[in-house]
Amino acid sequence: LYVPGRFKMAGQSIGGDSPPTSNGVFNNNQTYTGCAVDSNGNVFGSDIATAQGAFPPPSSGRLVEWFAPNYTSYCIVYGPTAGGAGPHHTDGTGGLAQPGTMTLADNGDLLVPNVGTSSVLRFARSSMPPKASACPGGIYPRRKVQVSTFVKGLSFPAGIAKDPTCDCFAISSYIGDPAIRWVTKNGGPEPGRVSVPGETIAQLGTDANSYNPFGLAFAPDGTLYFIDIHVTCKDNMVSEGCGPADYGGRAMKVTFSGGRPSVPTVVHAGFDFPTSVTVCVPATQ
């Protein structure tokens, strides 16, 4: 899946809409971290664009839709509206600000964490294009998109997933306490779940056993899996070179008893900046 354009790198037969660096290589300006599939089989992807750890994150992010059944037609549902390169304003301003891994609400609305607004945004599915012909030119008119705030006041929200045991949602924050919290299907605090603790900015990178959740997913029995991007700081100084540790990323697991989470345990370690996780049940999928 890609957004076609005039920029081709060496060896490519099809170009994207994000220009390469002066050396002709990938420029980190188009990076998809999350996806969701609606009831029609259309695929949505969140592009963090130039928000590669910068804070405050730039508003160059995009929500892109590809249409079933062949996925060769695309639509930039929400993205930059000024500056940047080409007709899509690639790497411009006015779009999302570091969107994270997403999920669908019960009615098909798209729930998208957005670091720049410290919130999870809700995109009304009824306001988005059901097929390619509804998005001529590949850019959807902003006036047609209905966006509201599902949850606000979050610290670095990175992912959201449906918890099958409580008809509620878990939201991850890679910096802040709590690291994972639960909300109802309406976005309010979920009374039946206790949050998973996290680390504040002042504590960032000072404890080798800490974790920084990004993507997350639930097994059918309610077991929670999440990706720890494992942020560290040079000489344990928050202002000095903080970022994901080389090959420090981990997949982690949380179980529950009476709505209370266990201490997260490591399923597998040694990943180099992982972002996302999902659960597949072969017997039913």
Residue 238 pLDDT = 55
pLDDT tens-digit series, residues 240-276: 567 888 999 999 999 999 989 999 999 999 999 899 9
Q: Is the Cα dihedral 60, 81, 75, 156 positive or negative?
A: positive
pLDDT at 20: 78
The residue count for the chain: 285
Tell whether the model's pLDDT for residue 28 goes beyond 90. no
Burial of 23 (0-12, 13-18, 19+ CB in 10 A): exposed
More confident residue, 26 or 262: 262
Spatial separation of the C-alpha atoms in residues 155 and 157, rounded to whole Å: 6
Tokens of 149: 């705030």
pLDDT in tens, 165-196: 998 999 999 999 999 999 999 999 999 899 99
| HEC per residue, 198-218 | CECHHHCCCCCCCCCEEEEEE
CA R_g for the chain: 19
